[in-house]
Structure 1
C-alpha cells in the first residue's frame, strides 16, 4: 500500500523540509571555513527544482496520469513560485533573524522552471516512460 503513495509522501516530506529550513534559524551552526559564492541561491534553486519535480510526480501519482502533463507542469510552476514567495514573506514577517530577498524568489522561480523542464524532458516522446498509467 505504501508503494502507491511514495511520491505523495516524498513531496509532502520535501515541502515540510523546505519550510523548516526556511523559517527556522540555524545561525549557531558552524559552517566551517568553506565559503562557496552564492551558496544560498544555489540552495534555493536546488530546493525548488526538487519541489517541482516531486510535485509533478505527486500530481501524476494522485491523478493516475489523468491530469495532462502540461496541466501538471503549469500547476506545479504556479504552486512552487507562489510557495516560494509565501515563504519569503513569512521569513520577513514571522522571523527576527531571517530576511526576505528578491534574489531568493528569482532562484526559487528559476529552480521551479528547471525542475518542470526536466519532467517535461523525462516524459517526452523520446523517453520510454509515459505520463499516463
Structure 2
C-alpha cells in the first residue's frame, strides 16, 4: 500500500510538472498541429486539468471523503491554473487568459464528476497489464 501511495504522489508531481512545462514554453515553440479545432488551446487546458483532477482524486480517496477530494481537486485546479496564468502574463511572455483559467477549472470539475468511471477504467487497465506481465514471466 505504501508503494501505491508513492506512485500516486509521483504521478501528481510529474503531471503538475508537465502542465507547468507546457504552459511555460514560448508560444512560438509550440508546433501548429494544423487541426481546425476552434479554441484548441482551451481544449488542451481542459484536458490537462481533467487528468490532474483524476490523479488528485485517486491519491486523496484513501484519506478523505469523496466530497473533500472533489473540493481539493477543484480548488487546486483553480489555484494552480490561476498561478500559471499569472506566470504566463508576467514572466513567460505569453498572455494570461481568463478563459484558459475557466477551462482549467471546468476540466477539474469534469475530472471529479467522471472520476468513478475513470477509476474503473484505470483499474481494468492495470489488472490487464499485471496479468500480461505475469503471463510473460
RMSD over aligned Cα atoms: 2.4
C-alpha contact (below 8 Å) 1:69/1:120 kept by paired residues: no
1:29-71 deviations in Å (ceiling 9; x for gaps) = 44254332211010000001111111111223xxxx2311111
Cα 1:14–1:27 shift into 2, 3 Å: same
Q: TM-score, normalised by structure 2?
A: 0.76
Within 2, Cα distance between the matches of 1:2 and 1:120? 22
Q: TM-score, normalised by structure 1?
A: 0.79
Q: Of the candidates 77, 90, 94, which is equivalent to residue 91 of structure 2?
A: 94
Q: In structure 2, list runs of 5 or more residues that go unmatched.
A: 120-137
Quote the residue 2:80 is aligned against: 83
Q: In structure 1, list runs of 5 or more residues that go unmatched.
A: 124-133
Within 2, Cα distance between the matches of 1:7 and 1:26? 31
Cα 1:32–1:78 shift into 2, 3 Å: closer
Q: How many residues align?
A: 120
Three-state SS of the structure 1 residue aligned to 2:28 is: coil
